[in-house]
Amino acid sequence: MTRIRGLLLCACAALACAGAHGAAAGLEVGVTEDAGKADGGAAFFATLSDVGLKANRVSINWDPAHQTTISGQAQLAAWLPKAQVSGTRVVFAVAPHDAKDFNSSAGAKTQFVDFVRKLAQTFPTVKDYVIGNEPNQPLFQLPQFAPNGKAVSAAAYLPVLAGSYDALKAVNPTITVIGVGLSPRGNDLPFAKSNISRSPVRFLHDLGVAYRASKRTTPLMDEFAFHPYPARNSDAPDVGYVWPNAGLPNLDRIKQALWDAFHGTAQPTVAEPRKTFARPLKLDLDEVGWQVAIQPALVGLYFGAETPNLVPVSEQTQADYYREVITSVECDPAVRMLSFFHLSDELDLGRWQSGLIRADGSKRPSYDAVRQTIAQTHESHQHRRPPARRVGEAEEAVPAQAQAVELHRGSGRGGVVQGGDLQGRAAQGRDREAPADGAPEAAAQCQGDDQGQVEGRISSGAKAEGRDLRVRHSNDRHHELAALHRLREQAVSRRPTA
């Protein structure tokens, strides 16, 4: 059943994109992989080229105990020229070594920004930087809340992103600054027993509030990174999250939250129909993956214990899911990059076994699935793809046929704007609540129909209080209406605390 669904989805998505007039023109498929530096890069980049992967996001950690030290600098210096030769775009993801590092001293955030500046000066060929990693999760940034229960993680992250943006643009204005590397989940419970975290929609709200309060008149980022992992490893790509969390089928929530946070400011939002931006905000889905059951014959190559309660999928299921992910994302013009986590398995079972390649170097079915899907989507689009834009170049206005579709308040239903019914069905999703310790029962959802991937916008303010609403930035059936956002917020605020 999974394979049949995957094949149908691929066919539907291909037809949908064919009618989308270059919707996938800017999409790159890559990997998030640090292990490729180990062999000097020759074999690694040859493998990327074989699969058709065009980007590699690598982690660079900042340690406040060694403020100016670039770990593995010599290795990076030898590795990057091979990336250039292979045509691989390298993305540096720069984050603190420990969740409390930004608060390790009064000057820690400034020291981090200085480190980012030094990276750009040391490696001038790298033109893409992700700043931070999942700052809405306690594993990567603490604190998430103040002792009185007020959310503080976004406000603490803002000067890091703003300072890094300014520093990188001062080194080279063509550098692409990417925030935030947002996790898809958070429980919004400041007094929970564990995993005290901030949901992605509310984190972006908090970031917008802090940005407006700062009176900053320049942007924070050129692109926005999001990690649309499934709520459960066994969930299919079309199974999403309950609001205010968000997964791959819920990208409309993220686009809406970005617009709500930054509209009317110097920070661009995602492109909208009938509105032209010098450079609209793009999305980088720079971490997504499904963990796979290890073949019995290869168990001895791994060590440690598997993550508790993890249900790995079969190798064939992973291949089907990865194919589905590419074909669905391919049709979203707001997405610049899709990056699988990882190319090769990590050997520690407590970490990630989600690679296209097993521990012994053999290829999983997902290897060929990704390679074939990239080749097929590239072939179907190459005759209509415009040349890649450089930083600062204007983006074409959205075609006239991508008009906003009127919705009656509360109906959650809209027509198909472009791509027809097949496009909507290829992108439709199902919601599932993400596991979160101590999380309250989820509020009611606003679900649209099965028919449309809609390019439009939700009006805010008075229009959200009454009259008709417009759908904005929806790539599946979950049309997030601003009025229902407020109703959910009110419902949450009325719930008694545990």
pLDDT digits (tens, 9 = 90+) for 417-452: 222 222 222 233 455 544 444 333 222 222 332 223
Q: pLDDT tens track of the chain, all 498 residues?
A: 444 444 444 444 444 454 443 334 568 999 999 988 777 788 999 999 999 999 999 999 999 999 999 999 999 999 999 999 999 999 999 999 999 999 999 999 999 999 999 999 999 999 999 999 999 999 999 999 999 999 999 999 999 999 999 999 999 999 999 999 999 999 999 999 999 999 999 999 999 999 999 999 999 999 999 999 999 999 999 999 999 999 999 999 999 999 999 999 999 999 877 666 678 999 999 999 999 999 999 999 999 999 899 999 999 999 999 999 999 999 899 999 999 999 999 999 999 999 999 999 999 999 999 999 999 886 665 544 443 433 333 333 333 322 222 222 222 222 222 222 222 222 334 555 444 443 332 222 223 322 233 333 332 332 332 222 223 333 333 333 334 444 444 443 444 443
Q: Considering only CA atoms, which of 9, 6, 4 is closest in space to residue 424?
A: 9
Domains of the chain: 2-381 (3.20.20.80), 406-494 (no CATH)
Omega into 180 within 30° of 0, i.e. cis? yes
Residue 394 CB: number of other CB atoms within 10 A? 10
Please name the amino acid found at residue 440: P
Q: How far apart are CA 260 and CA 143, in angstroms?
A: 24
Q: What is the largest CA-CA distance in the chain?
A: 63
Q: Name the residue with tokens 């019914």.
A: 421
Residues 286-305 pLDDT 10s: 999 999 999 999 999 999 99
Q: How far apart are CA 137 and CA 190, in angstroms?
A: 12
Q: How far apart are CA 254 and CA 257, in angstroms?
A: 5
Q: Is 392 exposed, middle or buried (0-12, 13-18, 19+ CB in 10 A)?
A: exposed
Which two structure tokens, joined as six digits, stand for 9? 């989805």
C-alpha dist (Å) from residue 270 to 173, 211, 221, 297, 299:
21, 17, 12, 47, 45
What is the four-CA torsion angle of 417, 418, 422, 425, rounded to 10 degrees?
-50
Q: How far apart are CA 404 and CA 161, in angstroms?
A: 32
Please name the amino acid found at residue 441: E
Residues 166-220 pLDDT 10s: 999 999 999 999 999 999 999 999 999 999 999 999 999 999 999 999 999 999 9
Please name the amino acid found at residue 254: I
Q: How is residue 65 annotated by DSSP?
A: G
- What is the separation, in whole angstroms, between the first and last Cα of the chain? 42
Please answer whether residues 136 and 198 qualify as being in contact, where contact means their C-beta atoms are separated by less than 8 angstroms: yes
Contacts of 492 (CB under 8 A, 6+ apart): 188, 440, 443
C-alpha dist (Å) from residue 401 to 70, 332, 398, 418:
49, 16, 8, 7
